[in-house]
Amino acid sequence: MVKILHAFTGPDGEDPQGPLTLGNDGNFYGETELGGIGADAMGTIFRVTPEGVLTTLHTFSSNGSAGTQPAGGLVVGSDGSVYGMT
């Protein structure tokens, strides 16, 4: 069975990348290569609950100060934190 948790529309991200990662808190974590909040948005890191409630944790901007267009997938570290790369 497939359950759609969220359909991205632009301000919340576009072009989801990689698989979802299950966090220690029971929520799923992922990234979008494009979209986000702001005219210069270039991707997001998000959390989505099993019920489909999405929270944008970070929006990357085109200035590149924190990277842009994440696409490598996320992993959960032994400390419970979620890690990724741009």
pLDDT digits (tens, 9 = 90+) for 24-68: 999 999 999 999 988 899 999 999 999 999 999 999 988 878 888
Are 62 and 68 a contacting pair, CB within 8 Å? yes
pLDDT for position 55: 96
How long is the chain? 86
- Cβ 14 vs Cβ 32: under 8 Å: yes
Question: 3-state DSSP call for residue 76?
Answer: strand
Core vs surface per residue 42-70: b (16+ CB within 10 A) or e: bbbbbbbeeeeebebeebbbeeeeeebbb
